Amino acid sequence: MVEDQSASAESKAEVNDLDVAWTRVLAGLPPNQRAWLTNSRPVTLHESTAIVAVPDDFTRGQLETRLRPDLERILTESFGRDIRIAVTVDPSLDPELREPAPAPQPVVREQAPVYQSPINQPPNRPLTQPFGQPVEQPYEQPQHQPMQQPYEQPQQQPAQHPMHQPLQHQQAEQPAAAPALQEPTHRPQQPEPIQQIQQPPPPLSVAPPPNGSAQFQPPTDSQGEARLNPKYTFETFVIGSSNRFAHAAAVAVAEAPGKAYNPQLIYGDSGLGKTHLLHAIGHYVRSLYTGARVRYVSSEEFTNDFINAIRDDKAAQFQRRYRDVDVLLIDDIQFLEGKIQTQEEFFHTFNTLHNANKQIVISSDRAPKRLEALEDRLRNRFEWGLITDIQPPDLETRIAILRKKAATERLTAPPEVLEFIASKVQTNIRELEGALIRVTAFASLNRQPVDLSLAEIVLKDLIPEGSKPEVTASMIMGQTASYFGLSIDDLCGSSRSRVLVTARQIAMYLCRELTDLSLPKIGQQFGGRDHTTVMHAERKIRQLMSERRSVFNQVTELTNRIKHQAKQQ
């Protein structure tokens, strides 16, 4: 912790230095070159790489080609050591795209950049779907299939499974032949077709990848198998000082997968946006590179998949699923702690991908150094790339997140209510969003406008004063079962009677809102259900709360009971 704080203090100092150095850059360039930097700004300095944000790809092309030598020379002189630049596009820097300043109360300082994701720009850059796959497959697929197997410790598996035979290992360690990089096929278009930018700009890489460059193969999986939540994009991600660096690095990685930083590891507490950034990388890569094979997986699913593959003798399919990809996004790596055989398998997956210059992005709830029950060789590998952290957002960022959420979900709430909610919920963004949903649902049920007094009433019970009591899944399940006159076995069982389904979904929703448990962990608590079932339940209850008073009341009453119980413990 102390170490983390000092690292963050150091990075703040460097940001200031970078600002100073940037003024030297501006002073040192001839006017015709300086003009390119009018709307650009330095983002941060990480080791020997200065990340610079520019408003569009055209400017980026200029910085990466014509201006690069001078920029790097002046920065190198300023810092007294070699500095290279990495350029990222932030369209909100374009004065023409900038949102008008918010009227009277300028509480919100951070605005999310409006990413020009090609997904949203069909006319110029259709998203080519190889093999006629649908463009997007719904992310949330309600499934009620119990998991094939409960979460078993992979240690229980036979040590010499074919998946771990020496030959396989050798193959995994071999660098795969990596042909030349194909530039993004869907670079954002520029208004003026100037000859110079007909060439795609050079990649963002700050150092050439060790074994040549990656090439994206035609995908073998469908769009749906990337399993990306359509809501988690860079466009919907609000940037603040707490996540600015992680965001900039994520954009850089998505623009030059396998080249900019490999692996990228994002760490931070629960509910701070790690999963969101992983999905956003996936979307952006897919929109830039035709046919890029992207796979998102939580470490829990990876573990289960591995166990099932061994059980069903499907090692080869398992390996193909995770190794024949261009970008592997692996969430909550801390889940692999203590799981020796899954770590072993992941180690070889990592090596195969890294050797072939395929991008790996990892999230964790802690810095790699603190993943004590993870093998050293894995932790070392995580340190090969770029490690970025996400801190809890400050008040302004929390308000900006609520504004964005309200806009995307079409929820109406005046600024003072958003400020009130943001001041009450300080650490977890999932909880922040949950509070907004409850306030707006309550107003909609009562056909009342959303105002401060209403928000105060709704949040009084949700967020009690004083220290936050720890809520567990068993408390939620116990309270829900007794409230509905059911047993815990009923909640975990397979009956689909209407009352039972609603009770189960409410309990899952509350686990999501009141605990830090991941989706697969919650599914596991409810009789080994799939994580998509939990996602469906969360969405369903959010919707029902604003449509049915009975459901709103049930959720509110249960929250009170659960929090009360937690306080007594």
Ligand X SMILES: Nc1ncnc2c1ncn2[C@@H]1O[C@H](COP(=O)(O)OP(=O)(O)OP(=O)(O)O)[C@@H](O)[C@H]1O
567 belongs to an annotated ligand binding site: no
The alpha helices in 29-155, defined as continuous H runs, are: 31-34, 57-64, 68-79
Contact 357, 385 (CB under 8 A): no
DSSP 243: T
- Three-state SS at 377: helix
Q: Binding marks (x or -) toward ligand X, 317..346, rule CB under 6 A?
A: ---------------x--------------
271 binds ligand X (CB under 6 A): yes
By C-beta, is 209 or 393 nearer to ligand X?
393
274 belongs to an annotated ligand binding site: yes
274 binds ligand X (CB under 6 A): yes
By C-beta, is 293 or 398 nearer to ligand X?
398
Q: How far apart are the C-alpha atoms of 134 and 183, rounded to whole Å?
A: 24
Q: How far is the CB of 433 from ligand X (least distance, A)?
A: 5
275 binds ligand X (CB under 6 A): yes
Q: How far apart are the C-alpha atoms of 276 and 293, rounded to whole Å?
A: 19
533, HSE (Cβ side, Cα atoms, 13 Å): 25
Name which position in 65, 190, 270, 427 contacts ligand X (CB under 6 A): 270
- Count of residues near ligand X by CB under 6 A: 22
Name which position in 59, 243, 264, 554 contacts ligand X (CB under 6 A): 243
By C-beta, is 60 or 274 nearer to ligand X?
274
- The gap between the terminal CA atoms of the chain, to the nearest Å, is 28
Q: Provide, for the chain, the percentages of residues in helix, strand and coil under a 3-state DSSP scheme, each rounded to the nearest 5.
A: 50, 10, 40
Amino acid at site 342: T
CA–CA distance from 27 to each of 66, 93, 363 (Å)?
17, 21, 40
- Which residues 130-169 are close enough to bind ligand X by CB under 6 A? none
Q: Tokens representing 207?
A: 């150092």
93 binds ligand X (CB under 6 A): no
- Which residues 507-546 are close enough to bind ligand X by CB under 6 A? 516, 518
505 binds ligand X (CB under 6 A): no
Q: How far apart are the C-alpha atoms of 227 and 207, rounded to whole Å?
A: 31
244 binds ligand X (CB under 6 A): no
Q: How far is the CB of 112 from ligand X (least distance, A)?
A: 7
385 belongs to an annotated ligand binding site: no
CA–CA distance from 345 to each of 261, 262, 378, 467 (Å)?
22, 19, 11, 41
Q: How far is the CB of 426 from ligand X (least distance, A)?
A: 14
460 belongs to an annotated ligand binding site: no
Q: How far apart are the C-alpha atoms of 250 and 266, rounded to whole Å?
A: 9
By C-beta, is 114 or 500 nearer to ligand X?
114
282 binds ligand X (CB under 6 A): no
Stretch that binds ligand X, among 5-13, 68-76, 274-282, 351-359 (CB under 6 A): 274-282
Binding residues for ATP: 271, 273-275
Q: Which residues bind ligand X (CB under 6 A)?
A: 232, 236-238, 243, 268, 270-276, 332, 365, 401, 404, 429-430, 433, 516, 518
Binding residues: 271, 273-275
